[in-house]
Amino acid sequence: MKSLWNDRDAAAFASDDLATRVYTSRLLGADESLVMHGGGNTSVKSTTQDFFGRNVEVLFVKGSGRDLCTIEKEGFAAIRLAETKMLAERDTLTDTDMAKQLRGLLMDQASPSPSVEAILHAIMPAKFVDHTHTDSVVTLSNNPNGKDIIGKLYPDCLLLPYTMPGFILSKQVFNAIRGQDVSAYKGIILHHHGVFTFSDDAKEAYENMIELVGRADKYIAANGDASIQAAGKAPDLTKGAKADLLHLAKIRRAVSKARGKAQIASLNSTPAAAAFASLSNVGNLATRGPITPDHVIRTKRTAVILGESSSGDVPEVKAFVDDYNDYFKQNNDGTLAMLDPAPRWAVWKNVGTLAFGSTQKECDIITDITRHTVWAIQTGEALGGWQALPAKEIFDLEYWVLEQAKLKRPAATVKPHLGKVAIVTGAAGGIGRAIAQQLHADGAVVVGLDINPVIKEHLNQRGLTGHVCDLTDEEAVRVSIESVVAMYGGIDIVVLNAGIFKSGQTIDQLDETWDKTIEVNLTASQRFLKHAIPYLKLGVDASVIVIGSRNYPAPGAGAGAYSVSKAGITQLARVAALELAKDNVRVNVLHPDAVFDTDLWTDEALQRSAERYEMTVEEYKTKNLLSREVKSTDVARLASTVASDVFCATTGAQLPIDGGSDRVI
Ligand code: ZN
């Protein structure tokens, strides 16, 4: 562990105390073995002016949940220092009252809520206080010999047993340091929790942290690292291991059911994860508890352990749920409401680890935590035996009133497709791209497919990606579908949008346009469904949206191939609705018309068509009963809604989206 302090960078942050605090906070945040995803906290004591221009001594402390690695000045809350210290002198204080009082001491009510460890920061007699949840130090605690090891490594630190964060911890430290010369200590080690360092000098507080953590790292390198499996070999799920993919879809469905809503399943089959999943005693190791109790909010107390495959459902998930119910009953004091009993991570034997979440971001956070957990468990084993805190301590944090408050904060809006997995064909531009973006905005993770490589640029963000695929190449279609399952654990929404359109040929003139149109618009869709259906049947409220055309109910001369292909795909959708209803897969058709904001329509083409009708372009675009332009985003919103729970009782339907057509009505 090396200090990242750099005099030149530090000079750029030397304008005031808070700027310096931002600099070293980011240094701590830059190393995920020190803090991860909102963990850890820092503070600086300084003065600021109140509304009347009077100087006030304040504590700038990290806002609750803020990430140290990207923190700005605004991420800190300024609270009145004297009154914050007075809170520590109280005999008791509930955490709810503590949070209220701390908010009351804010200099600016628009600030984030102060960290739950604010009182502890306030009572430390040093200007800069740094706190991390360092893996290596905590891992040494999680061991039958933990106290001895820590005692030998840190004779110059104040060592304290585990206790709940919040007021109880602040009080514990308050009592421990009362009447002592704290500057005699290089830091405080909280068993099973983390490390505090402090100094009037920002660099010294930071570098003391690095030095203390470095001791644990060295100890582990000398005594524990060797046992970690260097590499494992996981099957490549994208390469034809269909039985594994179907099992993955079953796992995802079982977890979604336990959680009461759709969940993405994100597989980590890196060599380290696969090696861990191959340990003969992994089922025992991964169910002893987390590295530190605050991970429980993200990961639950234990992993669900999954066999390689099973013929029916996934009994392991049901067993996990039963165990969770027991854990709740045993620890509930009678006042608590049970959280959902679904696992957040799994060890999939001989394959790797899985993270379950409603969004890609949630899965990424869980994957990060479990990666560290897997390391800590194996290190702990090598040092004398991995041992987590008792279940009761973990439970108390999982059901801690302040954590409950965080979870109960209402989401701004509930997105209809959170946790869902969608594929949209023909998504490089126009209606397809708009649908892909809409489904993503509505919460789904989305993969768009297109033969046009530009799709990789047009859909290029976490959870909304474009893949090049020739949809008339059945093998390429199969591989694309399977790679989506490998990536997210299943498929819930399929939008068959890809199609080509060529007009101007009467039936007696039709050449290869006929075969090509039927191949792309109809045959490719059947092939796509063929490979997607096994996964759709295992999806969560699965839905297929077929993009038809007004040309089906109201064909036009000179577009025979296109009209027939759209009639064919409509009929295919109706048959699919009949065949898939028993598996709760809905299939519905949208018939758009005159959607001009797509790549197919250039300004010149619009001009030519308008002239043919002796209209202006504006008149031509709104040539429908409602006299309104139909945009690709309108089609996209309808597609997303039909795929949602709003249409839960509708299958086999056909909806026009054309501004109203007297030929259709
Ligand atoms: Zn902490």
User: DSSP assignment of 479-535, as one string?
Assistant: HHHHHHHHHHS---EEEE-------SB-GGG--HHHHHHHIIIIIHHHHHHHHHHHH
Task: Give the pLDDT band of residue 492 (cuts 50, 70, 90).
Answer: very high
In CATH, 242-407 is 3.40.225.10: yes
Antiparallel, parallel or unpaired: β 264-268 and 352-357: antiparallel
Distance (angstroms) between ligand 1 centre and the Cα of 7 equals: 28
Is the Cβ–Cβ distance between 204 and 130 less than 8 Å?
A: no
Give the per-residue pLDDT at 33: 84
Where along the chain do its domains lie? 7-223, 242-407, 421-595+632-657, 597-629
Distance (angstroms) between ligand 1 centre and the Cα of 122 equals: 14
User: Is the backbone of residue 449 left (phi > 0), alpha (psi -120 to 50) or beta?
Assistant: beta
Distance (angstroms) between ligand 1 centre and the Cα of 187 equals: 14
Antiparallel, parallel or unpaired: β 586-592 and 654-657: parallel
Distance (angstroms) between ligand 1 centre and the Cα of 258 equals: 30
Distance (angstroms) between ligand 1 centre and the Cα of 63 equals: 13
Distance (angstroms) between ligand 1 centre and the Cα of 159 equals: 15
Distance (angstroms) between ligand 1 centre and the Cα of 116 equals: 9
pLDDT in tens, 613-626: 899 999 999 999 99
pLDDT in tens, 159-210: 999 999 999 999 999 999 998 899 899 999 999 999 999 999 999 999 999 9
- Position with higher pLDDT, 120 vs 228: 120
Is the Cβ–Cβ distance between 144 and 157 less than 8 Å?
A: no
With 0-12 / 13-18 / 19 or more C-beta atoms within 10 angstroms meaning exposed / middle / buried, residue 485 is buried
Distance (angstroms) between ligand 1 centre and the Cα of 218 equals: 23
Give the per-residue pLDDT at 532: 98
Distance (angstroms) between ligand 1 centre and the Cα of 323 equals: 28
CA distances, 217 to each of 33, 271, 366, 380 (Å): 10, 22, 23, 13
Distance (angstroms) between ligand 1 centre and the Cα of 131 equals: 7
Q: How far is CA 145 from the centre of its chain?
A: 36
**Cβ-proximal residues to 648 (8 Å cutoff; 6+ apart), any chain:** 541, 586
Q: Indicate the average pLDDT of the chain.
A: 92
Of 655, 656, 662, nearest in space to 593 by CA: 656
pLDDT in tens, 131-167: 999 989 999 999 999 999 999 999 999 999 999 999 9
Distance CA 229, CA 25 (A): 33
Same fold, 7-223 and 242-407: yes
Distance (angstroms) between ligand 1 centre and the Cα of 192 equals: 10
What backbone phi and psi angles, to 5 degrees, belong to 374? -60, -40
Residue 366: is its pLDDT beyond 90?
yes
Q: Which CATH class is domain 421-595+632-657?
A: alpha beta
- Token pair, residue 2, equals 């090396």
Distance (angstroms) between ligand 1 centre and the Cα of 164 equals: 10
Give the per-residue pLDDT at 223: 87
Distance (angstroms) between ligand 1 centre and the Cα of 101 equals: 20
Distance CA 437, CA 421 (A): 13
Residue 163: strand, helix, or coil: coil
- Token pair, residue 438, equals 């809409």
Distance (angstroms) between ligand 1 centre and the Cα of 368 equals: 18
Distance (angstroms) between ligand 1 centre and the Cα of 385 equals: 24
Give the per-residue pLDDT at 240: 46
CA distances, 196 to each of 206, 295, 541 (Å): 10, 19, 48
Q: What is the CA radius of gyration of the chain?
A: 30
Residue 468: is its pLDDT beyond 80?
yes
Distance (angstroms) between ligand 1 centre and the Cα of 188 equals: 12
Distance CA 643, CA 617 (A): 33
Distance CA 206, CA 511 (A): 75
Of 214, 56, 22, nearest in space to 128 by CA: 22
Distance CA 136, CA 66 (A): 22
pLDDT in tens, 547-573: 999 999 999 899 999 999 999 999 999
pLDDT in tens, 323-361: 999 999 999 998 888 999 999 999 999 889 999 999 999
Distance (angstroms) between ligand 1 centre and the Cα of 284 equals: 27
pTM of the model: 0.92
Distance (angstroms) between ligand 1 centre and the Cα of 70 equals: 18
Distance (angstroms) between ligand 1 centre and the Cα of 214 equals: 19
Distance (angstroms) between ligand 1 centre and the Cα of 379 equals: 22
CA distances, 621 to each of 31, 145, 269, 435, 630 (Å): 56, 77, 51, 21, 8
> Can you state the angle between helices 81-88 and 167-177, rounded to 10 degrees?
90
Distance (angstroms) between ligand 1 centre and the Cα of 65 equals: 11
Of 116, 117, 105, 38, nearest in space to 78 by CA: 105
Distance (angstroms) between ligand 1 centre and the Cα of 513 equals: 67
Distance (angstroms) between ligand 1 centre and the Cα of 589 equals: 53
Classify domain 7-223 at the CATH topology level. Answer: L-fuculose-1-phosphate Aldolase (3.40.225)
Is the Cβ–Cβ distance between 506 and 541 less than 8 Å?
A: no
Distance CA 289, CA 142 (A): 10
CA dihedral 134, 136, 141, 143 (to 10 degrees): 150
Distance (angstroms) between ligand 1 centre and the Cα of 57 equals: 24
Distance (angstroms) between ligand 1 centre and the Cα of 334 equals: 28
